[in-house]
Amino acid sequence: MLSSDEVKDILYSTIESIGKERIRSDTTSNINFSEKYIDAIMAECITKISVNSNSSNKDETIAVLCEALLHFMLTVSTLPSERKIQVKDNPTIDVVIPSLQSLKRTPDKSIIIEIIRNKMDSDKISQLEFLQPNHKNIWLISVIPFSTTRYRTYGMSTDTGLFHSFSNIIKDINNFLKETGDKSLRFIH
């Protein structure tokens, strides 16, 4: 398996080849561009990862890629989020939209996004329900096949019908924030 740093190097070299400022400008002017950029970046990175890694841990490597790309796209699209949050007596939360304070105050206006890297990660999903009682506001990103209709699940393939396309996640987050009337301050870099 490629190290996390190696995956990030592949991701950021791909982003630089497209143009970081171009991605930022296009995405902030029209959030729908996020889908095009996620598809293009993922396709190029997966090709590079396939060449540089063995297939035994490819799923975990792609999960690392998805997480890093999600963080980048949240930043360039100026969507409010908190990442890698440690909450007392609970597992670390990968991403909270818009913030942990919002999650505590109004869970119906907040999303928890969890990246499923392996079978063991799927065990901690039920623990997230203590923080987010609204199941539809627990979103999962998974490259491993598993079946759940309880949570919104994003994957690389929508063949099963159970998965939403990962390339739509930024648009879906933006729509969620609009629907819930989020007024978080957004910084444009």
Q: 40-50: per-residue pLDDT in tens? A: 999 999 999 88
Residue 1 has pLDDT above 80, yes or no: no
Mean pLDDT of 148-173: 81
Mean pLDDT of 152-179: 84
Tokens of 92: 């670390």
| Residue 145 and residue 163 in contact, taking contact as beta carbons nearer than 8 Å | no
pLDDT band at 171 (very low <50, low <70, confident <90, very high): very high
H helices of the chain, in order, are: 4-18, 20-29, 33-52, 58-76, 100-105, 119-123, 125-128, 169-179
What local confidence, expressed as pLDDT, does residue 114 receive?
A: 93
Mean pLDDT of 169-173: 97
Nearest to 81 by CA among 121, 110, 116: 110
Residue 4 has pLDDT above 60, yes or no: yes
The reply to whether omega before 107 is within 30° of 0 (cis) is: no
Mean pLDDT of 65-77: 95
pLDDT band at 161 (very low <50, low <70, confident <90, very high): low
What local confidence, expressed as pLDDT, does residue 189 receive?
A: 44
Residue 22 has pLDDT above 90, yes or no: yes
Residue 67 has pLDDT above 50, yes or no: yes
pLDDT band at 54 (very low <50, low <70, confident <90, very high): low
Residue 159 has pLDDT above 70, yes or no: no
Collect all residues with Cβ–Cβ distance below 8 Å to 157 and sequence separation of at least 6: 163
